[in-house]
Amino acid sequence: MDISPLQKARYEYQPKLPGMLRNGIAEISVQEGAATQSVADQDKIKALFPNTYGKPEITFVKGANTSAAKKQVVGVILSGGQAPGGHNVISGLYDALKATNPENKLLGFKKGPDGLLKNDYVEFDDKFIDAYRNTGGFDIIGSGRTKLETVEQFQTVANYAKENGLTAIVIIGGDDSNTNAATLAEYMAANNTGIQVIGCPKTIDGDLKNEDIEASFGFDTATKTYSELIGNIERDANSAKKYWHFIKVMGRSASHVALECALETQPNICLIGEEVAAKKMSLADITNQIADSVEKRAANGDNFGVAIIPEGIVEFVPEFSALIAEINELLAGEKTAQFNSLPDWNAKYEFIKAGLSADAFKVFDILPQGIQQQLFLERDPHGNVQVSLIESEKLFSEMVKNELAKRKEAGTYKGKFGAQHHFFGYEGRCAFPSNFDADYCYSLGFNAFMLIQYGYTGYLSKVSNISKPADEWVAGGMPITKMMNMERRNGADKPVIRKALVELDGKPFKYFEANREKWAVETAFTFPGAIQYFGPSEVCDRTTVTLALEKG
Ligand code: FBP
């Protein structure tokens, strides 16, 4: 296969490990901390995880390696959406496993959890791994979103694992995948299989973080990639001076990605879903907030700007989520077929008008027709509206346009408004990992093997102090049950890892809040440029602004 010069150069990059993991396998010792408790619902979580609950925090330190000599056969999967650095988790795991004992084996199960259920795997060797070091993507073995949750699934996984002589399984995934890792670990322990399960924290969304996990991998590279593009658009906007750019960025639910991109690029507007929900903002409130910025900038002769919209925004607007709930009811069961058989949009519109409550219809009626139709076209396998497919960047630009037309009539707005729309998501998920993600991911994988080697199960690989240079990073592990609480899912109380939303009293949001009024009116854009891999450390090893503010 032909490779690009950058890929070739990246093969040579040696990821930085935390200081305490650098002295060779023989010099890695373990320290156990105090017993842990789950973040909430302790009695319930303890009852559901009798074999894996309450275990101690683990820290690796320099000292004699006292782990048992045992041949390890480890299975690994990538689970969920792609995130830069996944290949390095696998290469770190592979290197630690082979350095411990060249007879050890690493099996990569293909297409996520499906690989474990179908026994579809490949055995890694040096040549295989070397072709993926420091590269983006999950194409080394693929990924998938199948949930591992039923006893039958766990039995299948355990049977194939025994057949292949697996001693451990590593699940590289987000909050749901690591919740499944905890449940699988408990199943394996309860059934005395001897198979350990370790998780690694992945997701570009940045919502798998807590007092133990400072960041999920991929967030750094993805936000730097989007920020580069947003900065480029800002420069274009400031050069042409004729467009407002509405830019939606990924983040299925939490607005961490949008906030980080705003801190990097200082746009005129950035919506934060968590704030919209806390302040119970309506669509009209949001529209007015953006229109005010457009109007004030126009008064200064600046008929251009940039607005960042988080992908999950609409679910945070109370009136919009109420509308979606009613639409789901309206189309439940056979009513979808009835709706689809109506001859044209006028007939469908009348059906909707008759079926929605007056309040919900009022919200529906102010939406642009394209968005109204999207609400009825896109359904997920459970029959629900797929909110992530709603083009909210177009929704808000259209609503702002209508609002500005009113203001023009009233004589308060005299500018010109032309909009461009963008959606940045897939562009960032498979980028070459930044040095930070390359180092962090390699360390997570290496560390995951040390947890296996020391016999731990139901743990998340933990590398902390990551706002500091890598030699000061702290490697260890945390029981996944410590991060869990009970939440209502599909009509039942389930033990899950708590998702981290943007904290409105956290330093990143506070910094944004303190500056956004100025950014809304002035042209205060900043241009981060492309991720740099070679050069001074302050340019190449920089973490996210979010992490720097949180830990600074
Ligand atoms: P994970 O939570 O699995 O990491 O995926 C997050 C994400 O990238 C979201 O930002 C986005 O909404 C979603 O995946 C898109 O999913 P898909 O790849 O299935 O289109």
> Rounded mean pLDDT of 227-253?
97
Residues found in the chain: 552
Residue 387 has what pLDDT? Answer: 73
Looking only at the bridges linking them, the beta strands covering 269-270 and 305-310 are parallel
**Beta bridge partners of residue 475, listed in sequence order:** 463
> Cα torsion at 398, 402, 403, 406 (round to 10°)?
170
Residue 424 has what pLDDT? Answer: 97
Looking only at the bridges linking them, the beta strands covering 305-310 and 419-424 are unpaired
Instruction: Name the strand (E) or helix (H) holding 113.
Output: helix 113-118
Q: What is the pLDDT of residues 48-91, one digit of tens each?
A: 999 999 999 999 999 999 998 889 999 999 999 999 999 999 99
Residue 376 has what pLDDT? Answer: 86
What is the Cα–Cα distance from 428 to 446, expressed in whole angstroms?
Answer: 25
Q: Are the C-beta atoms of residues 174 and 203 closer than 8 Å to each other?
A: yes
Residues identified as active-site: 205
Residue 149 has what pLDDT? Answer: 85
Around 85, how many Cα atoms within 13 Å sit in the side-chain half-sphere?
Answer: 30
What is the Cα–Cα distance from 15 to 209, expressed in whole angstroms?
Answer: 23
Residue 232 has what pLDDT? Answer: 98
Protein residue with its CA nearest to atom 14 in ligand 1: 81
What is the Cα–Cα distance from 227 to 527, expressed in whole angstroms?
Answer: 8
What is the Cα–Cα distance from 521 to 545, expressed in whole angstroms?
Answer: 22
pTM for this entry: 0.95
> Rounded mean pLDDT of 511-536?
98
The amino acid occupying position 135 is T
Helix axes 219-240, 256-265, angle to 10 degrees: 50
Residue 384 pLDDT exceeds 80: no
377 CA to middle of ligand 1, Å? 21
- For residue 457, give the nearest of 187, 161, 265 by alpha carbon: 187
Residue 491 pLDDT exceeds 90: no
205 CA to middle of ligand 1, Å? 8
Residue 333 has what pLDDT? Answer: 78
Phi, psi (deg, nearest 5) at residue 201 = -80, 110
Residue 381 has what pLDDT? Answer: 63
Residue 86 has what pLDDT? Answer: 98
Protein residue with its CA nearest to atom 6 in ligand 1: 81
Instruction: Name the strand (E) or helix (H) holding 428.
Output: helix 426-429
Phi, psi (deg, nearest 5) at residue 63 = 170, 180
* Residue whose token pair is 């009209």: 284
Q: What is the pLDDT of residues 311-342, one digit of tens each?
A: 999 989 999 999 988 998 888 878 888 898 99
227's CB contacts (< 8 A; 6+ apart) are 260, 261, 264, 265, 528
pLDDT band at 450 (very low <50, low <70, confident <90, very high): very high
What is the Cα–Cα distance from 176 to 196, expressed in whole angstroms?
Answer: 18
Phi, psi (deg, nearest 5) at residue 96 = -65, -40
Residue 470 pLDDT exceeds 70: yes
80 CA to middle of ligand 1, Å? 7
Looking only at the bridges linking them, the beta strands covering 143-144 and 121-123 are unpaired
Residue 1 pLDDT exceeds 90: no
* Residue whose token pair is 């309206």: 330
What is the Cα–Cα distance from 290 to 15, expressed in whole angstroms?
Answer: 43
Q: Are the C-beta atoms of residues 64 and 26 closer than 8 Å to each other?
A: yes
Q: Which atom of ligand 1 is nearest to the CA of 426?
A: 8
> Rounded mean pLDDT of 369-393?
79
Compare 325 and 133 and report the one with higher pLDDT: 133
Q: Which atom of ligand 1 is nearest to the CA of 429?
A: 8
> Rounded mean pLDDT of 405-426?
97
489 CA to middle of ligand 1, Å? 19
> Rounded mean pLDDT of 213-229?
98
- For residue 268, give the nearest of 510, 512, 527, 523 by alpha carbon: 523
Protein residue with its CA nearest to atom 16 in ligand 1: 81
Domains and CATH numbers, the chain: 30-217+433-487 (3.40.50.450), 219-429+506-551 (3.40.50.460)
pLDDT band at 273 (very low <50, low <70, confident <90, very high): very high
> Rounded mean pLDDT of 491-508?
93
Looking only at the bridges linking them, the beta strands covering 105-109 and 28-35 are unpaired
112 CA to middle of ligand 1, Å? 14
Residue 382 pLDDT exceeds 70: no
What is the Cα–Cα distance from 244 to 397, expressed in whole angstroms?
Answer: 9
Protein residue with its CA nearest to atom 4 in ligand 1: 203
Protein residue with its CA nearest to atom 15 in ligand 1: 81
Protein residue with its CA nearest to atom 11 in ligand 1: 252
pLDDT band at 509 (very low <50, low <70, confident <90, very high): very high
H helices of 279-421, in order, are: 283-299, 313-316, 318-330, 335-340, 345-355, 358-366, 369-377, 392-410
Q: Which of 93-97, 489-493, 520-524 has the lowest mean pLDDT?
A: 489-493
- For residue 519, give the nearest of 262, 186, 253 by alpha carbon: 262
Residue 362 has what pLDDT? Answer: 94
Residue 335 has what pLDDT? Answer: 84
Cα-to-chain-centroid distance, residue 40: 23
Q: Are the C-beta atoms of residues 167 and 44 closer than 8 Å to each other?
A: no
50 CA to middle of ligand 1, Å? 32
Compare 312 and 447 and report the one with higher pLDDT: 447
Three-point CA angle 487, 492, 498, nearest 5°: 15
Give the pocket of ligand 1 (CB within 6 Å).
Answer: 80-81, 83, 174, 203-205, 250-252, 311, 388, 429
In the chain, % helix, strand, coil (3-state, to 5) comes to 45, 15, 35
Select from 148, 252, 260, 499 the residue to mutate for testing ligand 1; criterion: most ligand atoms less than 8 Å from CB: 252
Compare 294 and 315 and report the one with higher pLDDT: 294
- C-alpha distances (whole Å) from 367 to each of 44, 188, 345, 364, 479 are 44, 51, 15, 6, 46
Residue 328 has what pLDDT? Answer: 85
* Residue whose token pair is 């930085």: 16
> Rounded mean pLDDT of 503-517?
98
